[in-house]
Amino acid sequence: MWYAYMSRLLLTIGAPKVVLECISRVNRYMRTARQTENNVERNKLLSKSLFLLSVYSEHEDAIQNMSFDENNDFSTPEMLGKRSQSNAFLCATHIYIYRSLLDVPPQTVRTYVAETFSHVSAFFAENTGNFSIWPAFIAAVEAYTLEDQASARCWLDRATVFGLGNRALIRRVVEEVWRQRATLSEASGLEHGKLAVDWRPVMQELN
């Protein structure tokens, strides 16, 4: 199932604990409570998740800078890379929450998509290592503007340089979501940003 596959993708560095908790609760809702169409439970989960992310974001500097070692240098490429990963997870989790719980069209989360890829770029400006797959993937499937899709392709080129396994599947899913959105746009006359395409059934079909 898609949630099992995405759980494996989450086993990467850079995700704050509060982010993992929010994602886990949303996944649980999608597997169970969603079937009952319980809007009260959905809205409660939405409100609590957004509140927790807001609190973490507001106090992120203090949380990440906590250390007994007064000589820690938080301006090193390694620390800046960790910050970029953390910020990307925060932005992508907003995308995931809004798309999963409210099924909003991509234009509603476009700001978070752009911000996610801004943090991806910031990471690669300081590091040559691998960027966590999950936040960039969640942003990529919702990218519909030329600018955001160019950013997504840049990340995909880096992430799938070896062209094997999970990373090759990621590219196929992203490009298929884009293709389906373009097809729907042509058939309906609606702009791409107004058309929601769920990546989950696409992943199930291609996996």
Check pLDDT > 50 for residue 68: no
pLDDT at 35: 64
Residue by residue, DSSP assigns 92-122 as: HHHHHHIIIII---GGGGHHHHHHHHHHHHH
Distance CA(26)–CA(28), nearest Å, equals: 5
Q: Where are the domains of the chain?
A: 2-64+76-206
Instruction: Give residue-wise pLDDT tens across range 142-162.
Output: 999 999 999 999 999 988 775
158 versus 93: the higher-pLDDT residue is 93
Model pTM score: 0.87
What whole-number distance in Å separates Cα of residue 53 and Cα of residue 49? 6
Mean pLDDT of the chain: 85
Furthest C-alpha separation in the chain: 60
Decide if pLDDT at 60 tops 90: no
